[in-house]
Structure 1
């Protein structure tokens, strides 16, 4: 869903589309990812959406992102940096290029804003 006008979305019930992980990203378990882009700037430099991942452990290289966890729990380890335990109501900022390991304990759903 992308919109040129203002809108509201109930994040816990929003329908998401499967977004398969690269098998090389999966370190443990059988995590599955889904998401929905709610808005994207015309030049593609700003993206707002919803993202969900089921339990397991995955690696990622991050974009410049702010997100708020709506449900679920995970531990995010930033290579050469801090480790964060996140759950409902937590906001997290990741820097572009951060290499992370996500250990998802309970299916995690987040609302995000990415700046490219």
Structure 2
């Protein structure tokens, strides 16, 4: 993913141009989902950015993350944990190592912060 310069800036998140970030084919359960994103800041302790995924079903192993969904809809099943219904305005938290299955119903865009 492309990074934004380290100087102060402001960005209109809903229309920000994102760069393709191809999925590992082993993560795709069904459909033809595509991922894109933009790293807004990065340091030794983590990163923040914008992430988007188109409809389909994928699996993932999550980082320690806080996020807010801007648009779209998805259901995320956390192995051994809750089922998250994501939509505009929903904030969520993943724990590092959470194994998830994402069923994306409408292209979903979120702003995230990951802690290393």
Aligned residue number for residue 10 of structure 2: 8
Unaligned runs of at least 5 residues, structure 1: none
Aligned to 1:74: 74
- Given that 1:79 and 1:100 are in contact with CA atoms closer than 8 Å, whether structure 2 keeps it comes out as yes
Q: Which residue of 2 aligns with 1:30?
A: 32
Paired with 1:90 and 1:39, the residues of 2 have a C-alpha distance of 22
Q: RMSD of the TM alignment (CA)?
A: 0.9
Question: What TM-score results when the alignment is normalised by the length of structure 1?
Answer: 0.95
C-alpha displacement at 1:2, in angstroms? 3.1
d(CA) in 2 for partners of 1:7, 1:79: 38
**Displacement of 1:6 after TM fit?**
2.6
Query: What residue in structure 2 maps to residue 49 of structure 1?
Result: 49
User: For 2:56 and 2:73, how far apart are their aligned partners in 1?
Assistant: 11
CA distance in 2, matches of 1:99, 1:4: 32
Is residue 55–residue 103 contact of structure 1 (8 Å, CA) maintained in 2?
A: yes
How many corresponding residue pairs? 114
- SS of equivalent to 1:3: coil
What's the CA shift string for 1:39-71, capped at 9, x where partnerless?
101x2x210100000000000000000000000
- Normalising by structure 2, we get a TM-score of 0.95
Distance 2:113 2:8 in 1: 16
The residue number in structure 2 matching 1:84 is 84
8 Å CA contact retained: 1:2, 1:40: no
